[in-house]
């Protein structure tokens, strides 16, 4: 994941007209929703067992089953991951939703819809929470969650698996770093506007790079706890089917080589040829189950 190449968002100020003292501070970008990180990432697949096996090798432990739907909750350290096979038609696991922690879920939903976001119709059944949300890129959804401390959404909607540890440790301190989003050509400006206008994301300046896949535009969340990477089709990709959607999950690690070795011992295989091979900066797993892959990035974040 890496930095922006959008020159229109660079604010160049002549050095001879502005002098910043040690006491002056650059104002924080706005955080209109009181965003506080990622609550969960959801994958949709009609191969929940095979994908669940892969997740367990990745360090995620199955914790609970949804009380009325074919949905499983996995957890690793601070990361919650949902596997949704309820009516799923696609075999390859795809990132289908992202849930954002916010100060007030009802306000976040109302604010987003008033600014032009497409509302997500409620799908709650009896004895289930109504988690508000909006439509994101492609067929994906963006949920808003304000119950994530002592009392969480999982306490209502999920039935714990017998003997499951509710706080499984993270392999080598892994945590959510970001999500990679594919977009159509010449659409970067549109999606930058979407995330900045609705949520307060900001574009990182040119030259800030993360990981081993240097391309696209990187947006930082207003809470400084995760990133979104926007990738347009590469030059000469006219013959490639390129759809907009959430395509890859980025996991952060303070020490990528340590995390890679720990996961290799658990049976995870990493790409190790060309420019994309494990390094201190990051790593990429091979493609599993028809195309799902995970990216690892050296992280400064404090989950």
Chain segment 228-280, per-residue pLDDT in tens: 999 999 876 667 778 999 999 999 999 999 999 999 999 999 999 877 899 99
pLDDT for position 12: 34
* 125 and 181 part of one domain: no
pLDDT for position 133: 95
The residue among 267 and 125 whose pLDDT is bigger is: 267
The residue among 229 and 14 whose pLDDT is bigger is: 229
Residue 301: is its pLDDT beyond 60? Answer: yes
* 146 and 197 part of one domain: no
> Do the Cβ atoms of 201 and 190 come closer than 8 Å?
no
Nearest partner of 153 among 97, 194, 115, judged by Cα: 97
List the domain range (segments joined by +) for residue 144.
38-160
CA separation for the pair 134, 297 (Å, rounded): 28
Q: Quick one: pLDDT band at residue 128, thresholds 50, 70, 90?
A: low
How remote is the C-alpha of 127 from its chain's centroid? 28
Question: What average pLDDT is seen over the chain?
Answer: 87
Find the helix packing angle between 105-114 and 188-199, rounded to 10°: 130
* 42 and 146 part of one domain: yes
Q: Last residue of a domain, which of 109, 136, 160? A: 160
CA separation for the pair 221, 178 (Å, rounded): 9
The residue among 184 and 213 whose pLDDT is bigger is: 184
* 177 and 286 part of one domain: yes
Q: Which tens digit of pLDDT belongs to each residue from 158-202? A: 999 999 999 999 999 999 999 999 999 999 999 999 999 999 999
* 97 and 204 part of one domain: no
pLDDT for position 172: 97
Residue 91: is its pLDDT beyond 70? Answer: yes
Q: Last residue of a domain, which of 160, 180, 201? A: 160
Residue 135 included in any domain: yes
Residue 24 included in any domain: no
What residues have CB less than 8 Å from 135, skipping those under 6 apart? 117, 118, 119, 120, 141, 142
What letter would DSSP give residue 239?
T
Q: What is the pTM of this model?
A: 0.87
> Do the Cβ atoms of 94 and 141 come closer than 8 Å?
no
pLDDT for position 61: 98
User: Residues 71-85: what's their mean pLDDT?
Assistant: 97
Residue 20 included in any domain: no
Residue 96: is its pLDDT beyond 90? Answer: yes
CA separation for the pair 189, 172 (Å, rounded): 36
* 111 and 204 part of one domain: no
pLDDT for position 1: 54
* 237 and 290 part of one domain: yes
Nearest partner of 234 among 184, 295, 190, judged by Cα: 184
Q: What is the number of structural domains in the chain?
A: 2
Q: Last residue of a domain, which of 140, 160, 180? A: 160
Backbone angles phi, psi at 121, to 5 degrees: -60, 140
Kind of pairing between the strands at 141-145 and 94-101: parallel
Q: Specify the CATH number for the domain of residue 252.
A: 3.10.180.10
pLDDT for position 112: 96
């Amino acid at each position: 994941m890496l930095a922006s190449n959008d020159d229109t968002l660079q604010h160049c100020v002549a050095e001879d007209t502005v002098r910043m003292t040690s006491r002056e501070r650059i104002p924080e970008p706005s955080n209109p929703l009181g965003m506080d990180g990622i609550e969960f990432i959801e994958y949709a697949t009609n191969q929940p067992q095979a994908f669940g096996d892969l997740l367990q090798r990745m360090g995620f432990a199955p914790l609970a089953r949804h009380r009325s739907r074919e949905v499983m909750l996995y957890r690793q350290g601070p990361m919650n991951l949902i596997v949704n096979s309820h009516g799923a038609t696609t075999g390859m696991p795809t990132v289908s939703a992202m849930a954002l922690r916010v100060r007030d879920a009802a306000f976040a939903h109302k604010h987003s819809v008033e600014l032009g976001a497409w509302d997500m119709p409620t799908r709650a059944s009896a004895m289930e929470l109504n988690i508000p949300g909006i439509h994101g890129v492609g067929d994906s959804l963006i949920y808003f969650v304000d119950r994530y401390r002592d009392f969480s959404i999982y306490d209502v909607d999920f039935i714990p698996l017998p003997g499951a540890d509710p706080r499984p440790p993270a392999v080598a301190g892994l945590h959510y770093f970001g999500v990679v989003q594919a977009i159509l050509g010449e659409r970067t400006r549109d999606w930058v506007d979407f995330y900045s206008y609705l949520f307060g994301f900001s574009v990182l300046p040119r030259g800030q790079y993360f990981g081993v896949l240097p391309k696209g535009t990187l947006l930082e969340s207003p809470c400084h706890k995760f990133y979104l990477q926007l990738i347009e089709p590469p030059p000469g990709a006219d013959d490639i089917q390129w759809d907009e959607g959430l395509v890859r999950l980025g996991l952060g690690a303070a020490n990528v080589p340590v995390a890679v070795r720990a996961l290799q011992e658990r049976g995870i295989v990493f790409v190790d040829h060309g420019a994309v091979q494990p390094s201190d900066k990051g790593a990429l797993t091979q493609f599993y189950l028809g195309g799902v892959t995970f990216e690892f990035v050296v992280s400064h974040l404090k989950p």
